[in-house]
């Protein structure tokens, strides 16, 4: 057993922590208010070589590991969760399926621009009638000569306005009445492809969440990602990795909310004492610190298992479920400790609470995580 980060992981943590404090945190309130995508932050992350962190150097990636990816996601989210989700989705949903299932040519053509930051990574699974039941996909891809002709729509897709291409799921056939779902890479500038960016969200306001409309979009058959009919399975594997990203985001948000509550409790005086002198506040903060520690350990364990090439589906679901639920609890308590000030935008804990809620929904709701875990423990 060794709970220490490697030298390289420590170096990445120090670098991204400093960058997040200096360059990401200062604009977070304003970006949330203005729904402004963090363009400048991502230019710098590209220059720092972090946009392809866990992918092979052969495609301009950083050759890093999943723990380092989790560290970067955690630190960015601690400063600004909109930046955190953009990064997490870029890597774990956008880049990962290409890295895992792409051919050599597909990786060169589509993964490389993701690693350099030239294109953002995105992933199109959810549809108006297929959310938790992602196999309920209705988008179709019909063969026509050397092409697929795709029709359908996708909802809530992160980063698509800034992506040059993305993998989506579509029905490519019916085998014995069973839907054949495949993954297909679609350029976002293809004729008939529309990206709509007009959701009014509760939180993560500076992140890009879009609706996609595919109206007779024609792509060559060589854009098929992985084996035909394996699209659904591939996306489930992709989501396992994505859940580590959501867990890391949750730890980052919870850490930020806790730090602010701790600091505030030492400054605010009522009844002649600081809040931190009341045992009720001390116990709240102790519980917050404990839960964050447990969540972080679980996120790192899932990431470590993935890096070791061992099964990690259960642990990824556990870390996502636990970390997202404690992030909501911690952010809620942080608002409570701030009292009326906590309800005000400038104190930021209200933003953290709004942002944290998505983590109990995206990449499989808490209920779906419990279903995954119960199946894997043999229920
Ligand atoms: C900001 C944001 C970003 C997103 N980014 C992406 C993205 O980049 N790519 C992408 O493909 N998707 C994305 N999503 C979609 C997200 O993954 C889905 O919203 C999520 O999986 C839930 O699906 P749904 O919204 O259709 O809810 P539903 O599936 O309709 O669920 C509604 C409720 O019913 C519960 N429920 C459903 N089935 C069961 C069951 N069998 N047993 C018990 N309870 C059940 C759910 O847990 C939930 O509480 C994003 C969503 C948001 C809000």
* The ligand 1 atom nearest the CA atom of 371: 42
Residue 177 lies in a domain: yes
CA distances from 161 to 7, 93, 210 (A): 36, 15, 7
Structure pTM?
0.98
User: What is residue 268's predicted lDDT score, i.e. its pLDDT?
Assistant: 98
User: What is residue 152's predicted lDDT score, i.e. its pLDDT?
Assistant: 98
185/243 same-domain check = no
CA distances from 368 to 133, 146, 347 (A): 9, 38, 33
Distance CA 288, CA 253 (A): 12
Give the end of a domain, one of 116, 133, 154.
116
The model's confidence at residue 153, banded by pLDDT at 50, 70 and 90, is: very high
Write out the residue range of the structural domain in which residue 226 sits.
123-230
Q: What is the CATH number of the domain that holds 265?
A: 1.20.140.10
Q: What is the CATH number of the domain that holds 173?
A: 2.40.110.10
Give the end of a domain, one of 81, 116, 151.
116
Kindly give the pairing relationship between strand 123-124 and strand 165-175. Answer: parallel
Establish whether residue 168 lines the binding site of ligand 1, counting it when its CB lies within 6 angstroms of any ligand atom.
no
| Backbone dihedral region for residue 364 (phi beyond 0: left; psi -120 to 50: alpha; all else: beta) | left
Measured from the Cβ of residue 1, the count of other Cβ atoms closer than 10 Å reads 2
Residue 354 lies in a domain: yes
179-211 pLDDT tens trace: 999 999 999 999 999 999 999 999 999 999 999
Distance CA 183, CA 167 (A): 6
Q: Which residue has the tokens 């995105």?
A: 122
Please give the distance, rounded to the nearest whole angstrom, from the Cα atom of residue 364 to the centre of ligand 1: 6
Kindly give the pairing relationship between strand 147-158 and strand 140-144. Answer: antiparallel
- Residue percentage of the chain with pLDDT more than 70: 100
Establish whether residue 360 lines the binding site of ligand 1, counting it when its CB lies within 6 angstroms of any ligand atom.
no
User: What is residue 28's predicted lDDT score, i.e. its pLDDT?
Assistant: 97
The model's confidence at residue 177, banded by pLDDT at 50, 70 and 90, is: confident
Distance CA 126, CA 207 (A): 17
Kindly tell me if the per-residue pLDDT of 175 is higher than 90. Answer: no
Establish whether residue 163 lines the binding site of ligand 1, counting it when its CB lies within 6 angstroms of any ligand atom.
no
Establish whether residue 362 lines the binding site of ligand 1, counting it when its CB lies within 6 angstroms of any ligand atom.
yes
> What is the pLDDT averaged over residues 354-364?
98
Beta strands, E only, the chain:
123-124, 140-144, 147-158, 165-175, 178-187, 193-196, 209-220, 224-225, 269-270, 273-274
**Chain mean pLDDT for the chain:** 97
Task: Catalytic residue, from 325, 333, 360, 363: name it.
Answer: 363
Q: C-alpha 204: how far from its chain's center?
A: 11
282/317 same-domain check = yes
215/276 same-domain check = no
Q: What is the CATH number of the domain that holds 45?
A: 1.10.540.10
Angle CA 211–215–220, to nearest 5: 105
49-106 pLDDT tens trace: 999 999 999 999 999 999 999 999 999 999 999 999 999 999 999 999 999 999 999 9
Please give the distance, rounded to the nearest whole angstrom, from the Cα atom of residue 275 to the centre of ligand 1: 39
350/263 same-domain check = yes
187/76 same-domain check = no
Active site residue 325: no
> What is the pLDDT averaged over residues 270-297?
98
Crossing angle of the two packed helices 231-267 and 66-79, in degrees rounded to 10 = 50
**Three-state secondary structure call for residue 174:** strand
298/282 same-domain check = yes
237/340 same-domain check = yes
Please give the distance, rounded to the nearest whole angstrom, from the Cα atom of residue 85 to the centre of ligand 1: 16
150/282 same-domain check = no
User: What is residue 1's predicted lDDT score, i.e. its pLDDT?
Assistant: 87
Number of domains in the chain: 3
Distance CA 14, CA 48 (A): 13
- Nearest CA owner, ligand 1 atom 31: 132
Distance CA 69, CA 13 (A): 10
70-80 pLDDT tens trace: 999 999 999 99
Residue 83 lies in a domain: yes
190/302 same-domain check = no
The string of DSSP letters for 245-282 reads HHHHHHHHHHHHHHHHHHHHHHH-EETTEEGGGSHHHH
* The ligand 1 atom nearest the CA atom of 366: 47
170/251 same-domain check = no
The model's confidence at residue 300, banded by pLDDT at 50, 70 and 90, is: very high
248/355 same-domain check = yes
Residue 1 lies in a domain: no
Please give the distance, rounded to the nearest whole angstrom, from the Cα atom of residue 147 to the centre of ligand 1: 31
Give the end of a domain, one of 187, 202, 230.
230
220/242 same-domain check = no
230-283 pLDDT tens trace: 999 999 999 999 999 999 999 999 999 999 999 999 999 999 999 999 999 999
Residue 270 lies in a domain: yes
Establish whether residue 358 lines the binding site of ligand 1, counting it when its CB lies within 6 angstroms of any ligand atom.
yes
């Amino acid at each position: 057993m060794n709970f220490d980060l490697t030298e390289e992981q420590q170096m990445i943590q120090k670098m991204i922590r400093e960058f997040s404090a200096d360059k990401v945190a200062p604009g977070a309130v304003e970006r949330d208010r203005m729904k402004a995508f963090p363009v400048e932050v991502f230019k710098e992350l590209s220059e720092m070589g972090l946009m392809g962190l866990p992918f092979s150097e052969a495609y301009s990636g950083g050759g890093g590991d999943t723990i380092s990816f989790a560290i970067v996601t955690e630190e960015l989210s601690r400063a600004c969760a909109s930046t955190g989700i953009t990064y997490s989705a870029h890597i774990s949903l956008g880049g990962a399926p290409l890295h895992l299932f792409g051919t050599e040519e597909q990786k060169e053509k589509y993964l490389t621009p993701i690693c350099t930051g030239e294109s953002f990574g995105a992933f199109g699974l959810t549809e108006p009638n297929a959310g938790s039941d992602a196999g309920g996909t209705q988008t179709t891809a019909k063969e026509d000569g050397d092409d697929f002709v795709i029709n359908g729509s996708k909802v809530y897709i992160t980063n698509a306005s800034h992506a040059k291409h993305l993998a989506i799921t579509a029905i490519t056939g019916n085998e014995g009445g069973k839907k054949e779902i495949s993954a297909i890479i679609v350029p976002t500038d293809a004729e008939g492809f529309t990206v709509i960016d007009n959701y009014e969200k509760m939180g993560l306001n500076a992140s890009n969440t879009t609706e996609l409309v595919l109206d007779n979009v024609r792509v060559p058959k060589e854009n098929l990602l992985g084996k035909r009919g394996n699209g659904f399975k591939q996306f489930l594997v992709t989501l396992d990795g994505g859940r580590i990203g959501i867990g890391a985001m949750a730890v980052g948000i919870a850490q930020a909310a806790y730090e602010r509550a701790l600091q505030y409790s030492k400054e605010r005086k009522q009844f002649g004492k600081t809040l931190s002198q009341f045992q009720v506040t001390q116990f709240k903060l102790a519980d917050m610190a404990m839960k964050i520690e447990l969540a972080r350990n679980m996120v790192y364990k899932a990431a470590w298992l993935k890096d070791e090439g061992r099964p990690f589906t259960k642990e990824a679901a556990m870390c996502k479920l636990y970390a997202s639920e404690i992030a909501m609890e911690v952010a809620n308590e942080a608002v409570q400790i701030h009292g009326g000030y906590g309800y005000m935008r400038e104190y930021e804990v209200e933003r953290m609470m709004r942002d944290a809620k998505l983590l109990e929904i995206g990449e499989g709701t808490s209920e779906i995580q419990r279903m995954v875990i119960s199946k894997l423990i043999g229920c």
